[in-house]
Amino acid sequence: MAPKKAKPELVKIGNHYVNVADISCISAVKVRDEDDQYETRKTMYVVRFISNPNPEYTCWVEKKDIGFLLEQFNIKVE
């Protein structure tokens, strides 16, 4: 009997389940808030993946949900 492979770990971010090892970039982007009649801008985050570098397959994450994802990385600020 072949040994079982370890299952990849997924992290729930808002409505998404993300493999942290597959993330290549996280960018903050200002977007128009469609619910606001004054068209204010809000910050959302775009998560890009190593396995799918095509920009149309990015993952949009709300600001309130990004904190847990960022905790998964050692972030260096220079």
pLDDT digits 0-9 by tens, 41-76: 888 999 999 988 777 777 899 999 998 899 888 888
Which residue bears the tokens 């994802």? 69
Tell me the sheet residues that pair with 45: 28, 61
Q: Are 58 and 17 in contact (CB under 8 A)?
A: no
pLDDT above 90 (res 4): no
Sequence-distant contacts of 48-55: CB under 8 A, at least 24 apart = 48/23, 48/24, 49/22, 49/23, 49/24, 50/22, 50/23, 50/24, 51/22, 53/24
How much is the pLDDT for 39? 67
Across the chain, mean pLDDT equals 84
Domain ranges of the chain: 19-70
As a whole number of angstroms, the distance between CA 43 and CA 8 comes to 29
